């Protein structure tokens, strides 16, 4: 996998796709494309909002933050992600909706100035947040939830699964590891009618063990997406 060594501006073709969802045709003092690129730049660098002043040609940080919050409140970010995921599946000649997803979580240390949704993961001894994600066989994210690190995989997993409602009409199976217990399985099956498959492996084995039913591949993709995801 090739990683960008520096922030990449949106190409014209990328913006054309995004603008269909993001651009409401309102008159603005600053270009909406410039505002969106500023948000992406901030996410890429991990800097504070006020540090946007270091980026040449960027609107005041208050303006950028206002648009970020408005898009979040209206659910536009989620809508954008869903649209891009479906478009990529179609580009790769896949059905718009997957039949199998894998779910996993990752606990990350708390960062400076982050106060909301934090806690201590008793198992990993980490004070921070838990990132939870469900991906398809291509590694594309279908549902994301960020919780405090002390939230169990069961409860965080329920949030992820509930956010899939209405998005995946072909879904039949959710692959998970042994961290997801009976309460999670019962919730998925009773509330959504999907089957949960728990992938097991010998305790002495490190990494992923291929499964005959093919659940290892989306599980691996899930771990990869968690490492790349920025929240």
**DSSP per position, 191-210:** HH--EEEE----TT--S---
pLDDT at 226 (0 to 100): 42
pLDDT per position as a tens digit, 199-210: 765 555 554 444
What is the reported pLDDT for 3? 46
pLDDT (0 to 100) of residue 206: 52
Q: Is 207 left (phi over 0), alpha (psi -120 to 50) or beta?
A: left
pTM of this structure: 0.72
pLDDT of 221 strictly over 70: no
pLDDT at residue 109, as a whole number = 67
Tens digits of per-residue pLDDT, 149-192? 888 889 999 999 999 999 999 999 999 988 888 999 999 999 99
The structural domains of the chain, ordered by start, are 12-74 (no CATH), 95-228 (3.30.420)
Binned at pLDDT 50, 70 and 90, residue 127 comes out as low
């Amino acid at each position: 996998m090739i990683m960008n060594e520096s922030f990449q501006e949106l190409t014209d073709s990328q913006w054309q796709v995004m603008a269909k969802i993001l651009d409401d045709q309102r008159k603005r003092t600053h270009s909406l494309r410039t505002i969106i690129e500023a948000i992406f730049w901030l996410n890429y660098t991990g800097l504070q909002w006020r540090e946007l002043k270091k980026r040449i040609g960027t609107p005041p940080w208050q303006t950028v933050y206002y648009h970020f919050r408005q898009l979040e409140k209206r659910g536009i970010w989620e809508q954008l992600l869903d649209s891009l995921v479906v478009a990529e599946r179609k580009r790769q000649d896949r059905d718009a909706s997957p039949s199998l997803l894998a779910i996993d979580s990752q606990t990350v240390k708390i960062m400076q100035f982050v106060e909301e949704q934090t806690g201590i993961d008793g198992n990993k001894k980490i004070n921070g947040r838990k990132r939870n994600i469900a991906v398809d066989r291509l590694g594309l994210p279908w549902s994301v939830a960020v919780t405090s690190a002390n939230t169990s995989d069961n409860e965080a997993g329920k949030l992820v699964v509930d956010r899939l409602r209405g998005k995946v009409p072909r879904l039949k199976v959710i692959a998970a590891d042994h961290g997801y217990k009976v309460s999670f399985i019962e919730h998925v099956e009773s509330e959504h009618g999907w089957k949960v498959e728990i992938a097991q492996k010998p305790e002495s084995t490190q990494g992923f063990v291929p499964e005959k039913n093919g659940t290892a591949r989306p599980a691996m993709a899930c771990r990869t997406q968690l490492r790349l995801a920025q929240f």
